[in-house]
Amino acid sequence: MSASYPPLPPELVTFAEGGVSILVGTCNRELVPDCVRGMGVRVWPGASGLTVLLPAATAAASIANVRDNPRLAVTLSHIPSHRTIQVKGKVIAVRDGDDADRELATRYREKLADDLAFVGQPAANTLRLGIWPCHAVDLEIEVVFAQTPGPVAGVKMPLQTGRL
């Protein structure tokens, strides 16, 4: 199945891979939702999809959900400014994380610690977030929503104004 959404524009690729907070939503076919923090995002070449890393320790329910119902929501938020988007699409693969994923998760956690330190969360805590082992979930992007709190939250992108 091909993605219905045009490739992410370069500024959103930079945004998504810039160490923003990653929230992942799933649900099973009985409509029981689950959420888990992602620990890294890698946008595919061509920007039609992305891979999100989910720590195995906390993602069991979410992984079970996507195996049952391959729909995924990923909310990406820049903590200091609340600038936020939500990407939705279809999961096409779930695999165990590899060395490159572990390196990405480690770098991501350091960047996240910087952002959370900005809002007062001690890095000593953030740097203890569990990242390994992890699952790598491949997502084909179907739609992107603006999610920054305010009047355009929930509106499909690209927006008329071109802003998040």
Partner 1 sequence: MIRLDALDQCFHGIVPGVLATCDREAIPNVSYISQVHLIDEQHLALSCQFFNKTRQNLDENPLATLELYDPLTFEAYRLRLRFLRSESTGPLFDSMAVRILAIASHTGMAGVFKLRSADVFEVLSIEQREGYIEPPAAGERLVRSLPNGPLTELRGLQLVSERVARASDLDSLLTGALAALDEVFGFTHGMIMMPEHGKKLVTVASHGYGDAAIGAEVGCGEGMIGNVADTKRLVRIASASAELRYGRAIREQYAHTGSGVGAEIPLPRLADAESQMAIPLLVQDRLVGVLALECRSRLNFEQWHEAFLQVLANQIASGIERMAEREDDGAMSLPAAAPPKRVPAARTLNFTYYRNDDCVFVDGEYLIRNVPGKILWKVLRAYEAEKRTDFSNRELRLDPTLGLPPIKDNLESRLILLRKRLEQKCPDVRLVPTRRGRFSLCIGCELELVERETA
Q: Could you say which of 29, 45, 46, 99 contacts partner 1 (CB under 8 A)?
A: 29
Q: Is 37 in the site for partner 1 (CB under 8 A)?
A: yes
Nearer to partner 1, 45 or 140 (CB): 140
Q: Is 125 in the site for partner 1 (CB under 8 A)?
A: yes
Euclidean distance between CA atoms 77 and 118, whole angstroms? 14
Stretch touching partner 1 by CB under 8 A, among 6-14, 46-54, 97-105, 115-123: 115-123
Euclidean distance between CA atoms 88 and 47, whole angstroms? 14
Euclidean distance between CA atoms 118 and 162, whole angstroms? 27
Q: Which of residues 63-102 bind partner 1 (CB under 8 A)?
A: 69, 71-75, 77, 80-84, 86, 88
The nearest distance, CB 39 to partner 1, in angstroms, is: 11
Cβ contact 78:18 at 8 Å: yes
Greatest C-alpha distance within the chain: 43
CA distances from residue 120 to 75, 78, 81 in whole angstroms, order as listed: 22, 15, 14
Q: Could you say which of 8, 27, 144, 157 contacts partner 1 (CB under 8 A)?
A: 27
Nearer to partner 1, 51 or 62 (CB): 62
Of 134, 44, 41, 132, give the one whose Cα is nearest residue 86: 41
Euclidean distance between CA atoms 98 and 112, whole angstroms? 21
Q: Could you say which of 7, 13, 17, 25 contacts partner 1 (CB under 8 A)?
A: 25
Stretch touching partner 1 by CB under 8 A, among 3-11, 30-38, 44-52, 94-102: 30-38
Cβ contact 87:141 at 8 Å: yes
By CB under 8 A, name the binding residues for partner 1.
Answer: 23-29, 31-37, 55, 57-58, 69, 71-75, 77, 80-84, 86, 88, 119-121, 124-126, 128-130, 145, 147-154, 161, 163
